Amino acid sequence: MPDTPGPALLVATDLDGTLLRTDGTVSGATRRVLAAVDDAGVPVVFVTGRPLRWMADLWPVVGAHGVAVVGNGAVVYDVATGSVRRVRALGREVGLDVVAAIREAVPDALMAIEDLDGIAIESTAFEDDPSTRVGPLEDVWGDAVTKLLVRAPGLDASELQTRVAAAVGTAATVTWSMPGLVEISAVGVTKAAALAEVAADLGVARDDVHAFGDMPNDLPMLAWAGTSYAVAGAHPSVLDVVDHVVPGNDADGVARTVARLVRFTADLL
């Protein structure tokens, strides 16, 4: 905890489907609001399932006060210094046991791992990119694996989720942010756990955290935050539990709401 009082407000937002437009861009209105929020000293925390490798183009819009939680909570990244602050890795022994259990439950499963160096796949059937590391997961599993990814083309997305969750049990944390891809992290790794650490570092009370999301991997964060928001069109499981529903991502719902929270004038939008 810092010696001096922290900010009175912290904004935490998911990216894809929430803050970003459907085409993956940041609108002009959102850029202006984020810049004004940063100038006002209010920290904005990007809380995303994205790996570090998908974040480079987004760092400039976070601002000097920005901190990012990536990999569904496995990595806390200090945007100002361009450095990794914390990593919650999925250990090799546990991870490979999980891989074996999934293989038994879903024989046709395709798997890959994310780590701080990028993605490594066991087969090009998972992702056909010549720059990607390819090989048995036993050979590429290192000390900083942040996420195990599972696909099974031809298997219904909900069935894949059900089978993988049952196979993994309590050995790791299972979630998903898009149909057909299951994401597995170490036990206790969630967006909520990482965001709670960031808020504590900044001296912000839980009640003063305003969090925005749209998919099931956002649920722990939304349940933890003092005030929770879903964008219109969010997954039904998210719409059922939030305090507020705001306009959708293509209507700059997050930016409009944050501008009101910080009492900015409408000319930013």
Tell me the per-residue pLDDT of 26-64, one tens digit each, with 9 for 90 and over. Answer: 999 999 999 989 888 899 999 999 999 999 889 988 877
How much is the pTM?
0.91
Q: Please say if the pLDDT value at position 90 is more than 50.
A: yes
Q: Please say if the pLDDT value at position 264 is more than 80.
A: no
pLDDT per position as a tens digit, 194-240: 999 999 999 999 999 999 999 999 999 999 999 999 999 999 999 99
State the Cα–Cα distance between residues 157 and 170, nearest whole angstrom: 21
Structure tokens at 117: 């160096």
CATH 3.30.1240.10 residue ranges of the chain are 92-185
User: Which class does domain 92-185 fall in?
Assistant: alpha beta
CATH 3.40.50.1000 residue ranges of the chain are 10-87+189-268
**Helix/strand/coil (H, E, C) string of 132-201?**
CEECCHHHHCCCCEEEEEEECCCCCHHHHHHHHHHHHCCCCEEEEEECCEEEEECCCCCHHHHHHHHHHH
- How is domain 10-87+189-268 classified at the CATH fold level? Rossmann fold (3.40.50)
Among the ranges given (5-9, 66-70, 78-82, 89-93), the one the predictor scored with the smallest mean pLDDT: 5-9
Label residue 80 by pLDDT band (50, 70, 90).
confident
